[in-house]
Amino acid sequence: MDIQMIERGLHQSAVALQTATFGMGCFWGPDARFGSLLGVIRTRVGYAGGTTISPTYRNLGDHTETVEIDFDPDILSYEDVLRHFWRNHYPNRDEYKGRQYLSLLRYRSADQLKAIEHVKKEMEYEIGESIETDIAPFSNFTLAEERHQKYYVKRYPKALEQLQPLFPNPSMLVNSTFAARLNGFVKGFRSKESILTEIEEWKIDVAGKQALMELFRKMKW
């Protein structure tokens, strides 16, 4: 099975995909959380928000751990993406150590900024305090090391063995919608039944769809 070929239809939405970049503390959890959402096509973790050249996990400099998501706005609006962002971490700086775990948001267009301003007011009313998220235009994102991508799936060696024919190179997990859903599943954000139901609706090759569903049903963790 060629996972890239199977998932190609998901990556060719009638409406152009949008990208969101968030810092929410340690990036492993947000990667799984957003990867579980209907409408999210890809997730990846990395470093953003600073000026240090070529940041790494051991040498972040002034960057922040971030998650980037590509999503289909026909299925999941940017406003709802923002609500997931603000409802799932504490957005004030006194809870964080330096910039590594900063509440951070980088926008890519005037429309995204307009949505941010609207939803931020809504969330401040909901949580009952001002939000101190570091909000600025997008400027850079450096992909984190391979070991951090789809971190929770990689905690299950038996599952990785079963996925090896589909992902012969672990780096292929980064851009896979199926891998994003698996990562959300093992973290407890989705049930097996809900993911199988979703795959059934994916606009992909029928044989590929059946192969993915069969693999997921039989996976041992």
Q: Are 38 and 198 in contact (CB under 8 A)?
A: yes
Task: List the 134-137 sheet strands across, edge first.
Answer: 134-137, 103-107, 18-24, 64-71, 40-48, 142-143
In the annotation, is 79 catalytic?
Answer: no
Q: Rounded CA gap, 62 and 82, in Å?
A: 24
Q: Are 43 and 69 in contact (CB under 8 A)?
A: yes
Helices (H), 44-202: 78-87, 110-127, 157-163, 177-186, 192-201
Q: Which residues pair with 137 in a beta bridge?
A: 107
Q: Are 144 and 57 in contact (CB under 8 A)?
A: yes
Determine which one of 10, 26, 75, 127 is catalytic: 26
Taking residue 16's Cβ as centre, other Cβ atoms within 10 Å add up to 8
- Which amino acids are annotated catalytic? 26
